[in-house]
Amino acid sequence: MTKLFLVFALFLVVALATATALTPYQLRYSAFEDAVSDIFEDDSSEYSLQGNGGTYTVRSGDSLSAIGGRVGCSVAQLVSLNGISNPNLIRVGQVLKLCGGSSPSPAPAPSGGGTYTVKSGDTLSGIAGRVGCSVSQLASLNGISNPNLIRVGQVLRLCGSSPTPTPTPGPGPAPSGGMSAAGFAHLRAVFGGVSQSAADGINYIIAAAHRHGISDVRQVAYMLATVRGECGAGMTPVREAYWTSETWRKNNLRYYPYYGRGYVQLTWSNNYARAGAALGYGNQFVNNPDMVLDPKIAADIIALGMRDAWFTGVSLNTYIHGGTCDYYNARRIVNGLDKAGQFASWATTFEQALGR
């Protein structure tokens, strides 16, 4: 009875609209037909798993999560079965395979032996789900700083693929005598130049790594990448907020005068005291904090700090050792994941240079 009343009411509305030529929102017969269809439609057959050979045709207003809930599939299952790169984008009329129906669409075959070429509509999370990698793994493998930004045609290395070959196989030992001429040539080619201050900084850090027993070339590469990121292309020790003034630091930094200095930002008096004790300087750093701006001292501090987990509780060995080399998450040694993809890319460049 209720359905008949609704049909009658809709009929009157359409008739009235037709008679008075309502604009701009004219009611059409197709709208009336759709409404009647919806009223009498049997919901139990609309989403039958077997109703269309294990498929479902997307209708206006559908979402993947709503469809999944009605047919007993998870969003992840529907995405995998139908090769959907963006779970928030489906189109009316699209025919979806359902759980228990047809075989899933194959994941994109790795092209070129462990790589995938980004296509229009791809997202990193969608690619990761189809090829069996996590987003963080893909970001780390490919030096991606913003996981939400990939470009069509970009070739991504996939989990299990070999890293870009470097001139020396495996991690190899770090050089003890400084960067070679060939290594500097590689850095100039990639970075567009290397200043004398940067060259000096690179050699200070390599020497400090050697002094403190850091022999894995990848760990030294990540130290160099960290200095480039924290201090800029000049790779010289800096003061915290170096673009401001001492007056600003005094008025705004609660740990003044023990604000950040060096290749990494050593802060608070207790950390100055620890670094002084570890390096045999006693309380000299506490009495004269500017001492840690000396490049040799600054290099010793970053070497010990990253080796022994001074800064955040995790060390170089946490992410880079033996068969493990996670340049992306190694950013956590100093500063969370801030610009982690960029630091990972720099580390790869320095690793290549150190191997030459």
Same domain, 345 and 202: yes
pTM higher than 0.85: no
Same domain, 8 and 122: no
- The string of pLDDT tens digits covering residues 8-45 is 555 554 455 444 444 433 334 344 444 434 443 434 33
Same domain, 100 and 236: no
Residue 169 lies in a domain: no
Same domain, 279 and 344: yes
Residue 110 lies in a domain: no
CA distance 157 to 115: 4
**Which DSSP helix (H) or strand (E) runs through 198?**
helix 196-211
Give the CATH number of the domain where residue 153 resides: 3.10.350.10
Residue 195 is predicted with a pLDDT of 94
Residue 172 lies in a domain: no
Q: What is the DSSP string of 4-69?
A: HHHHHHHHHHHHHHHHHT--SS---HHHHHHHHHHHH--HHHHT-TTTTTSEEE--TT--HHHHHH
181 vs 120, 250, 331, CA distance in Å?
42, 43, 28
Same domain, 209 and 256: yes
Same domain, 9 and 150: no
Same domain, 220 and 311: yes
Using CB atoms within 10 A of its CB, is residue 159 exposed (0-12), middle (13-18) or buried (19+)?
middle
Asked if pLDDT for residue 54 goes beyond 60, the answer is yes
Same domain, 133 and 8: no
- The string of pLDDT tens digits covering residues 206-250 is 999 999 999 999 999 999 999 999 999 999 999 999 889 999 999
Residue 68 lies in a domain: yes
Give the number of domains in the chain. 4
Domain extent, residue 67, equals: 52-105
| Structure token pair of residue 284 | 């000299």
Same domain, 13 and 86: no
Report the C-alpha dihedral over residues 279, 280, 281, 286, rounded to 10 degrees.
60
Tell me which residue of 77, 80, 55 sits closest to 68, measured CA to CA.
77
CA distance 22 to 14: 10
Vertex 246: Cα angle to 240 and 251 (nearest 5)? 95
Residue 72 main-chain phi, psi, to 5 deg: 80, 25
Asked if pLDDT for residue 61 goes beyond 90, the answer is no
Residue 96 is predicted with a pLDDT of 82
Residue 233 lies in a domain: yes
Using CB atoms within 10 A of its CB, is residue 51 exposed (0-12), middle (13-18) or buried (19+)?
middle
Q: Which residues contact 320 (CB under 8 A, 6 or more apart)?
A: 216, 218, 219, 222, 326, 327, 330
Give the CATH number of the domain where residue 198 resides: 1.10.530.10
Beta bridge partners of 55: 97
Residue 102 is predicted with a pLDDT of 41
Residue 168 lies in a domain: no
Beta bridge partners of 255: none
| Structure token pair of residue 156 | 């991504």
113 vs 75, 130, 157, 166, 307, CA distance in Å?
29, 16, 9, 18, 35
Same domain, 201 and 348: yes
- CB of 32 within 8 A of CB of 11? yes
Same domain, 289 and 208: yes
Same domain, 32 and 69: no
Residue 87 lies in a domain: yes
Residue 47 lies in a domain: no
Q: Which residue carries 């207003």 as its tokens?
A: 61
